[in-house]
Amino acid sequence: MHLNSLTIDQVREALQQGHTTAIRLTESFYARIEVEDAAIGAYLTLSKERALQKAARIDALVSRGEQLPCLAGVPVGIKDVMATRDVRTTAGSKILANYIPPYDSTAVARLEHAGAIVLGKMNCDEFAMGSSNENSAYRPVHNPRDLSRVPGGSSGGSAAAVAAGMAVAALGSDTGGSIRQPAAFCGVVGLMPTYGRVSRYGLIAFASSLDRIGPLAKTVKDAAILLHTIAGRDAMDATSADLPVPDYVAELDKPVAGLRLGIPREYFADGLDGEVRVAVEAAIEKLGSLGCEIVPISLPHTEYAIPTYYLVATAEASSNLARYDGVRYGYRASGVQSLSEMYERTRDAGFGPEVKRRIMLGTYALSAGYYQAYYLKAQRVRTLLARDFDQAFQKVDVIVTPTSPTPAFKLSEKTTDPLAMYLADVYTVTADLVGIPGISVPCGETTQGLPVGLQILGRHFDEGTILHLAHQYEKNRAHGA
C-alpha cells in the first residue's frame, strides 16, 4: 500500500482496518516532503508537532473502537493566506515574515474538527496575487509534472503538493482563478465554491468581494467531502450564506443524462492552445455520450472580464493592504526618523513588485477624478457580466469551458510581461466576478505530458450539479467508457 497515494476514503479504511496508523501516515508524508520538496518548493512552514499530536488523538479513537470523523487522519496542507493558531502565516510576503496568528481561520478549524492532520502552510504568490507562483517572497514553486514549468497561481503550492503526493488534499483560495488554474496545470481537481458558501474568517484579504476558500484534491469525491466539511454559515463572517449545505457526496452518482451543457463560443476563440482545445472538445464529446445535451451559447461581455477584474481586484487590494504599515504587526523598517518615513520604508521593503503594482493600480482607480471613469465603470460592467450568466443559466444547467488557454508555461516566461501573465486568467476571472461556483477536473494531456483542465461552472450555490457532472466525467474517462 502506497500511503502517499491514498484518497480520503482510503485513509479512513486503512485506519479502520489497521493497515496503518495516523502517526505512521503523517510521518510518511513528512518523509515524502523531505525528499521531494527541495525541488518543488510547495511548503513554507511545517507544523510537525501539531500534526503528530492530532494524529495521536486519532489513533486513540481507533484503539478505543470509536466512530471516526469524516477526515480522520487525512494529511492536508493549508495555503499560507489562512490563519493558523501558533503557526507562522506569511501570505507569501516579507511584510508578514514573522506573523504568528493567535487563532485559526474557520475553514482550518472545521477541517481539524473533522479529524484532518494539518501538515503545514503552502507556498503561494504574495497576498495571492499571481498566476504562476513566482511572486512568492520566499521561492517559486515548480510544477511536479515538469520542474521547468510553473504550477499555476496563486495556490501553486497547494496544487503541487497534492500532485506530488505531499498531501492528500489542500485548501487554496480563488480570487481570479487561483484554485482552478493551478489544478489544471498540475493535473488535480480544484473547486471554487459560490461566494458566501465557505467562511472567509481568517483568510488574509486580497479582494474582499472576490476571495473564496476551496479544496484541491486528487478526486472529485475528495473535493466534495472537503467542501461539505468547510461549508456553511459562520457568525464570524457576515458574507457567509445562511443556507443549508447539501450532502455533496450523496449527489455524485446521480445520472447526468439530460443535463444541458452550455458551450460559450467566446472561450473557444483565438488564443486557445490547439492541444488544449482538442482535449476539452474530446471531454465535451464524452459528456455528450453520457446523455448530456450540448448547447452552444454566447457570453457577449467576456472580452471585458480581464480589464474589469484588474480594476475591481486592485482597488480592493489597495484598501485591504493599507493595514500593513509597520504599526500594529508584521515587518517594520528600522532607523527611521518620522512616521511617514516608517510607512514608506516599511511598505517599500515589505511588499514585492507585483503587490506594489496592484496597489498603485488600485489606488489610481479609486483616486479623486478617476473613481467614476475606472472603478465605478468596472462595477457596471461586472453587472453586465453577471447578466450574461443569468441569461445563459435560463437555457442551460452548467457551462463548460477550458480552465486555461494554455498548459503550464515555463518559469520566467511571462514575468517581464505583466499583461501576458494577467491573460493566463482569461477563462477563470469571470466566475469570480459574478460569484458562481466552478471546478477544474483533469481532461487529458498534451504531447509533452502536460495536464489539461476542464472547467465546469454552475449556478449560485449549485455546487452539487458541477460536482456530480465532474465526478461522472472523471469516472467514465478513467474507465474508458
Q: Which residues are catalytic?
A: 79, 154, 178
3-state secondary structure 129-161: CCCCCCCCCCCCCCECCECCECCCCCCHHHHHH
What own/partner pairs with CB < 8 Å and gap ≥ 24 does 414-421 have?
Answer: 414/132, 415/132, 415/134, 418/354, 418/357, 421/130, 421/131, 421/132
DSSP for 423-479 reads GGGTTTHHHHHHT--EEEEEEEE-TT--EEEEEEEESTT-HHHHHHHHHHHHHHHHH
Closest to 428 measured CA to CA, from 125, 141, 174, 151: 174
- For 269, the 3-state DSSP assignment is coil
- Alpha-carbon gap, residue 311 to 308, rounded angstroms: 5
308, 433 Cβ separation under 8 angstroms: yes
Amino acid code (one letter) for 46: L
149, 450 Cβ separation under 8 angstroms: yes
- Alpha-carbon gap, residue 250 to 263, rounded angstroms: 27
- Alpha-carbon gap, residue 307 to 377, rounded angstroms: 11
What's the DSSP call for residue 226? H
- Alpha-carbon gap, residue 306 to 137, rounded angstroms: 25
- Alpha-carbon gap, residue 59 to 73, rounded angstroms: 8
Which residues 6+ apart lie within 8 Å of 55 measured at CB?
A: 21, 22, 23, 25, 26, 73, 117
Amino acid code (one letter) for 478: A
Instruction: Tell me the C-alpha to C-alpha distance, in Å, between residue 21 and each of 27, 126, 424.
Output: 10, 36, 42
Closest to 426 measured CA to CA, from 263, 272, 214: 272
